[in-house]
Amino acid sequence: MALIAVIHVEHEKLTLAPTVEQVPSVDVRIVTNSMTDPDSELFFFRVRSESGAFEEFETALERDPTVADAVVISESENTRMYRFKHLSGTELLSPKVAELGGLILEAKGGETGWQLRLQLPDREAIERLWEHCLDEGMSFELVRVFEQHNLDSMAATSVSSEQRSALIEAYRSGYFEEPRETTQRELAEQFDIGSTALGGRMRRGTRQLIEDVLLEGEFEQQS
Q: Residue 12 falls within a domain, yes or no?
A: yes
> Quick check: is 43 in a domain?
yes
pLDDT tens for each residue of 42-60 = 788 889 888 888 999 999 9
Looking at the fold, whether 167 and 134 belong to one and the same domain comes out as no
For the chain, give the mean pLDDT. Answer: 83
Confidence at 149, pLDDT banded by 50, 70, 90: low
Domain that holds residue 177: 161-222
Looking at residue 76, what is its pLDDT? 85
35 shares its domain with 113: yes
- Is residue 155 assigned to a domain? no
Asked, for residue 28, whether it belongs to a domain, the answer is yes
pLDDT value at residue 137: 94
Specify if 153 maps to a domain: no
User: Can you tell me the mean pLDDT for 128-135?
Assistant: 96
Regarding whether 133 and 41 lie in a shared domain, the answer is: yes
**Which residues 6+ apart lie within 8 Å of 156 measured at CB?**
4, 119, 146, 147, 148, 150, 212
Both 175 and 100 in a single domain? no
Whether 110 and 191 map to the same domain: the answer is: no
Asked whether residue 168 falls in the same domain as residue 63, the answer is no
Q: Which of 102, 127, 148 is the last residue of a domain?
A: 148
Name the nearest CA neighbour of 213 among 202, 203, 221, 204: 221
Residue 222: predicted pLDDT? 43
Residue 119 has pLDDT above 60, yes or no: yes
Asked whether residue 97 falls in the same domain as residue 169, the answer is no
Give whole-number Cα distances, 115 to 5, 87, 107, 196, 219, in Å: 10, 21, 6, 35, 12
Are residue 62 and residue 134 in the same domain, yes or no? yes
Is residue 89 in a domain? yes
> Could you read off the pLDDT of 13-44 as tens digits, one per residue?
998 999 988 998 888 988 765 544 445 677 88
Residue 154 lies in a domain: no
For residues 57 and 128, membership in a common domain is answered with yes
Q: Is 203 in the same domain as 141?
A: no
Domain C-terminal end among 115, 148, 181: 148
Amino acid of residue 67: V
Res 147: pLDDT = 75
**Which of residues 127, 148, 169 is at a domain's end?**
148
Question: What CA–CA distance (Å, rounded) separates 106 from 111?
Answer: 17
Furthest-apart CA atoms within the chain: distance in Å: 63
**Number of structural domains found in the chain:** 2
Q: Could you give the residue ranges of the DSSP H alpha helices within the chain? A: 17-22, 54-62, 94-99, 123-135, 161-172, 184-191, 195-209, 218-222
In a domain, 156, yes or no: no
Q: Do residues 107 and 176 share a domain?
A: no
57 and 108 part of one domain: yes
pLDDT (mean) for 136-160: 72
